[in-house]
Amino acid sequence: MPNVRANGIQIEYDTFGNPANEPLLLIMGLGSQMILWHEDFCGMLADRGHYVIRFDNRDVGLSTKLDEAGVPDVMQIISALMAQQPIQAPYTLDHMADDAIGLLDGLGIERAHICGASMGGMIAQTVAIRHQHRVKSLVSIMSTTGDASLPPSRPEALAFLMTPPPTEREALIEHHVKLWRTIGSPGFPFDEDFIRARSAMLYDRCFYPQGQVRQLAAILAHGSRRERLKSVRVPTLVIHGVDDPLVPVDGGKDTAAHIAGAELMLVEGMGHDNPRDVWPRAIEAISRLTRRAVLAEAERSAVPIAS
CB 171 within 8 A of CB 283: no
Position 304 scores a pLDDT of 55
3-state secondary structure of 4: strand
Position 84 scores a pLDDT of 80
- Please report, as a single letter, which amino acid is at residue 5: R
Position 20 scores a pLDDT of 98
Position 305 scores a pLDDT of 45
CA dist list (Å): 274 to 117, 186, 187, 240, 242: 9, 12, 12, 10, 13
* φ and ψ of 241, to 5 deg: -80, 135
CA dist list (Å): 143 to 32, 165, 251, 288, 305: 14, 23, 6, 20, 44
3-state secondary structure of 57: coil
d(CA 87, CA 72): 11
Question: Residue 42 gets which letter from DSSP?
Answer: H
Q: What DSSP string runs through 216-234?
A: HHHHHHH---HHHHTT--S
Q: To 10 degrees, the CA torsion angle through 205, 286, 282, 43?
A: -40
Q: Beginning with the edge strand found earlier in the chain, give each strand of the sheet holding 263-267 in spatial order.
A: 3-6, 9-16, 50-55, 22-27, 112-117, 135-141, 236-241, 263-267
CB 174 within 8 A of CB 192: no
Q: What is the pLDDT along the chain (307 residues), one digit of tens a residue?
A: 799 999 999 999 999 999 999 999 999 999 999 999 999 999 999 999 999 999 999 999 999 999 999 998 878 887 887 788 888 899 999 999 999 999 999 999 999 999 999 999 999 999 999 999 999 999 999 999 999 999 999 999 999 888 889 999 999 999 999 999 999 999 999 999 999 999 999 999 999 999 999 999 999 999 999 999 999 999 999 999 999 999 999 999 999 999 999 999 999 999 999 999 999 999 999 999 999 999 988 888 774 544 4
Position 297 scores a pLDDT of 87
